[in-house]
Structure 1
């Protein structure tokens, strides 16, 4: 089955005879794959996660989730961020830029160092789908782990032998009939590779062998499969993840754990245990953007303390107890002057020329920032909303709250995704 590449807010329809060619903004898939997406949509909606929106009997509209979805009929849909305009670049260039952005955001959100993210392989796979990039990181980490040495562990074994080894189980031996007195029920430890971490990695490798379509990935996966054939597969993935150990002796396993979770955990907005998910991974763009902005602020604002998701203030009291937390995305405070700035990130395209439509700003977002200004700053400093920089939003918008303080300002500033340092021009002016 073919692979499809779309972007946020794209439409997905059932293919029909003579239908247009699939594009980044509209994909035409088989009816069987479409029915599976409808089932997923119902499951997500039941749990409050909005990934798809029905736009007709045979059409779905995507929301702010990016990643990969695989259906039982082997249809694979890759969803990319939407931040490059098609009228300024050709479609292949847009795919390349948005894949690179998604990879960069995932490295930040998943707390990957440049070494763990496979800097060398990034260049080779920068034009490959997201799932192949993840598979590459997993295989590279697994190969490095084998070079360092796989950890063994002692496992308790109970068996019957004609010789004594370990500890004799006296009760069982005394209850044996005379004809079996030459057989010894024993219990002993075996030093082997059968431990939770290895079982999970081996199980993920089996998934990779089936899912990868890249020749280099397939070849390396088969080599690793032969080298680790003595490791059994996991019979209980969730239980084995709970037993995954950390520490100095297992430091080499820290790198591969994330990739194993991605392949076996199959990140989805809600749990769909018992149903087909394939190698499906979905990430909310709002959270990826928030983590990306916070990461670059920490790197560049050396004289500021940058914190995320603080919740020291509440908007109400109920029976003298605080209720309804106010939780801004980012809170920065100058180390010397103690100046505080509260920031929120919004993954939305703003148009500074659309004054009639209030630039695309939402009432709820502005009201939320007013609450932050009142409860966290007493209207003594500015609050900032950070939006992605686009052609129609390359300069800040400044508003004054309707209060007595002249310092109670709301600023909407652009964040240049390819050059994150440019945000400092607005914060430190």
Structure 2
């Protein structure tokens, strides 16, 4: 087990192992370099190679299991202390739980702090507990048409096959009949995920529970066509008790993952772009805490940067857009997973000039030059005081806000949101 933080450096040489620098085997080093080559065409960046002995990780977080047996755990860089891995691990689990839209009961503190293990073991544990509850409630069964040869007549006689029966087997019957079995698309996917967990887990409790559930699901075959079974997953009222396990099954099987790892290794790997996790977490927090006179739109895409030859060019997609009761845009917010330094005025606090150009374009197109802009960064000890207001033009202002992930709090005053009259509440579920 190699536990590091995002942007850590890995080496095949000798070093003092910390969360920011760690030794890995040459086989794991080479496999990670090959993995980066496979991820690059899709736009994902896992690491940067620095010579023959060093590589630097990017902002992907999660767990990677290499074929040689190395488990690389990458945690978010949220705390100052290099030995504080448990807090970062708990924060990552909380953000992943928010990404899955789990009910409050399942995403509570007791569930998140059940035991301090890497993300994959926690995901496998949640899958096994959800599957255990589902088995106790009862698996959904369905009628399946079976064609077989029996020494007795059962169901419907298959006349064509019976007429072709060999003389020596005339006493056997080719029959068709329906059997009531749990061989459904949903159960086949659950069995496939269970088998993957059973072979991948390193926790004794998880392995014992997986063995028990595998014995109880012995009648269910594992899915051989996962994509087809995912499309056949039913979401009707009769299948409502299957919904809690759906996101966990997706994670175990890598369905819809932000970064999918293709390969023949037997381990379970989960990777998440930290920028997307932070954006999703902030958006879901805002949905619960926004004043009633504002509604939230994620990834708005109605405006473009310019027109050319009668056509629009360069679509503008802010992370978060706030509208009033009339539907008019009043505020644009963008999330950035980056550490700012409030006392480093000489280096512009660590702010990027390109982000300001981007926000200025949002303000001109979505707010017509009148309104409020905000950049949201994670709070930490080096960014514990608000920055002064940024004037982007007449009537257009921008604030740099702090979001405390550990305490679930956006550090703003009560008057920050009050800009338009209160009429109605409009909310929508974020994709």
Whether these two folds match at TM > 0.5 is yes
Q: Are 2:185 and 1:196 equivalent residues in the alignment?
A: yes
1:27 is paired with a residue of what secondary structure?
Answer: strand
Q: Name the structure 2 match of 1:7.
A: 5
d(CA) in 1 for partners of 2:387 and 2:325?
26
Distance 1:316 1:276, change over 3 A: farther
Secondary structure of the residue aligned to 1:367 is helix
Q: Deviation at 1:420?
A: 3.0
CA distance in 2, matches of 1:424, 1:299: 15
Instruction: Report the counterpart of residue 45 of structure 1 in structure 2.
Output: 40
Which 4+ residue blocks in structure 1 deviate beyond 6 angstroms?
none
CA distance 1:41–1:337, shift in 2 (3 Å): closer
How far has the Cα of 1:274 moved from its partner? 4.6
Partner Cα distance (2:389, 2:53) in 1 = 43
Mapped pair 1:399 → 2:363: no
Q: Is 2:369 the partner of 1:375? A: no
Pairing 1:163–2:152 present: yes
* Separation in structure 2 between the aligned mates of residue 13 and residue 237 of structure 1, nearest angstrom: 38
Following superposition, the deviation at residue 264 of structure 1 comes to 1.5
Q: Compute the TM-score of the two structures, normalised by the length of structure 2.
A: 0.90
Tell which deviates more after alignment, 43-52 or 271-280: 271-280
Mind listing any 5+ residue stretches in structure 1 that lack a counterpart? none
Matches of 1:321 and 1:82, distance apart in 2 = 43
Which residue of 1 is the match for residue 354 of structure 2?
Answer: 364
Task: Quote the residue 1:332 is aligned against.
Answer: 322
Unaligned runs of 5+ in 2: 419-431
Q: What TM-score, normalized by structure 1, do the two folds share?
A: 0.91
Deviations 1:58-87 (A, max 9, x none): 21111111000000111101111002112x
C-alpha distance in structure 1 between counterparts of 2:260 and 2:31, whole Å: 16
2:344 maps to 1:351: no
Specify whether residues 352 and 274 from structure 1 end up closer, same or farther in structure 2 by C-alpha distance, changes over 3 A only: closer
Q: Which residue, 25, 33, 55 being the options, matches 1:60? A: 55
In 2, Cα distance between equivalents of 1:155 and 1:396: 65
> SS where residue 5 of structure 1 aligns?
strand
Q: Deviations over 1:352-396 (max 9, x none)?
A: 222222221112111000000100111111211111112222213
Does structure 2 conserve the Cα–Cα contact (< 8 Å) formed by 1:266 and 1:279? no
Is residue 300 of structure 2 the alignment partner of residue 302 of structure 1?
no
Give the aligned partner of residue 85 of structure 2.
95
SS at match of 1:124: coil
Q: CA deviation at 1:6?
A: 0.6
Give the 5 Å matches for 1:130-145: 130-145=119-134
CA shift at 1:116, angstroms?
A: 3.1
1:390 aligns with 2:388: no
- Choose from 27, 30, 33 the match for 1:32: 27
The structure-2 alpha-carbon separation of the partners of 1:95 and 1:301, relative to structure 1 and needing over 3 Å to count, comes to: same
Provide the secondary structure at the position in 1 that maps to 2:346: coil
* Other structure's SS at 2:144 match: strand
Distance 2:311 2:413 in 1: 41
Change (3 A) 1:101 1:78: same
Q: What is the distance in 1 between the residues matched to 2:397 and 2:113?
A: 43
The 2-side partners of 1:196 and 1:338 are apart by: 45
* Secondary structure of 2:74 counterpart: strand
Deviates more, 1:180-189 or 1:381-390: 180-189
- Does 273-282 or 409-418 show the bigger shift? 273-282
Shift of 1:320: 1.9
Q: 1:222 aligns to what SS in structure 2?
A: helix
- The answer to whether the 8 Å contact 2:251/2:257 transfers is no
Name the SS of the counterpart of 1:53 in structure 2: strand
Question: Is 1:415 the equivalent of 2:403?
Answer: yes
2:15 — aligned with what? 20
For the structure 1 residues 352 and 277, does the alpha-carbon distance in structure 2 shift closer, same or farther, using more than 3 Å as the test? farther
2:94 pairs with one of 88, 91, 104 = 104
Does the C-alpha gap of structure 1 residues 208 and 334 become closer, same or farther in structure 2, counting only changes over 3 Å? same
Q: Secondary structure at the match of 1:324?
A: strand
Question: Counterpart in 1 of 2:234?
Answer: 245
Post-superposition offset of 1:275: 4.1
| Alignment coverage as a number of residue pairs | 415
Taking the aligned partners of 1:277 and 1:337, their CA distance within structure 2 comes to: 50
Quick check: 22-31 or 199-208, which moved more? 199-208
Output the aligned Cα RMSD: 2.1
